[in-house]
Amino acid sequence: MNLTKHLKKPQYYYDVIGEETKRVFYNFLKCFDLNKIFFSKKEKSLNFLQFNKIIIQSMSSTIFINFEHLIEFSDELSDVIQEQYIRVEPYLRRSLSEYLRNNLQKISNAKEFWISLYNVPNKKKVEIVDCRVLNKLISISGTVTKIADCYPKLLLGTFECSNVACGFKIWHTEQNFLYKEPKNCINCGNINWILITNDSIFVFIQKMRIQGIYSN
């Protein structure tokens, strides 16, 4: 009997910067005043009981954090988040999920949580944004001219080897906005995979078109 196909352990490369960011951000959450955290801009603040109730019962899964609080906690952490945001963003989400499940009751393991950062310093006009800010966290100003409909996007893909005699699974492969299958199956060497949609995680994406603010 081949036991490897029953494993449900995600596979990913060890990223020293990502893992250290995850650890420091977890410490930030431990020291964070929950009265300063909220789920939407209509919520001014939440005490711990309100926080617990909303995160369990609400459909909301996004937590808003003031970036100025991150700067106060650690200049190094805030710098890494700004300069290497695309790289460390998955580790921030893992850290948040780990913290919530360790400190709040009845949190489903299947629920994904998201972080929205506001008050990011050094706001830039959209017309001067160029390729030098790719993968970085920035704040921009402009006029939204078009909003597209929401559509589903694969976030974490679970793949099964197409070799019926093998059936090896790789769980929750990060997609990073591009569809990406694993390489050779480590169990049988096969290169073809089947996406298992029921075991994968999708999110809704909405695109906006923004242009500069031009004065007369």
Rounded CA-CA distance 191/170 in Å is: 13
Tokens of 167: 């059936």
What separation in angstroms does the CA of 66 have from each of 59, 88, 176?
A: 22, 17, 25
Alpha-carbon span 40 to 116, nearest angstrom: 10
Given pLDDT bands bounded at 50, 70 and 90, which one contains residue 160? very high
Domain 16-141 indexed as CATH 3.10.450.50: no
How do the domains of the chain map onto residue ranges? Answer: 16-141, 148-211
pTM over 0.95: no
Fold for 148-211, please state it: Rubrerythrin, domain 2 (2.20.28)
Using alpha carbons, select from 158, 24, 145, 45 the residue that is nearest to residue 95.
24
> Any idea which residue has 């921009």 for tokens?
140
| Predicted pLDDT at 9 | 46
3-state secondary structure of 154: strand
Is a pLDDT exceeding 80 seen at residue 51?
no
**Phi then psi for 6, rounded to 5 degrees?**
-95, -5
pLDDT of residue 173: 85
Q: According to the model, what pLDDT value does residue 3 have?
A: 38
Of 44, 26, 35, the closest CA to residue 101 belongs to 26
Res. 215 pLDDT band, cuts 50 70 90: low
Which ranges of the chain does DSSP label H, i.e. alpha helix?
16-31, 48-57, 67-73, 75-83, 85-103
Which range scores top for mean pLDDT: 50-54, 62-66, 155-159? 155-159
- Could you tell me the pLDDT band of residue 24, with boundaries at 50, 70 and 90? very high
Least confidently predicted of 6-20, 103-117, 136-150: 6-20
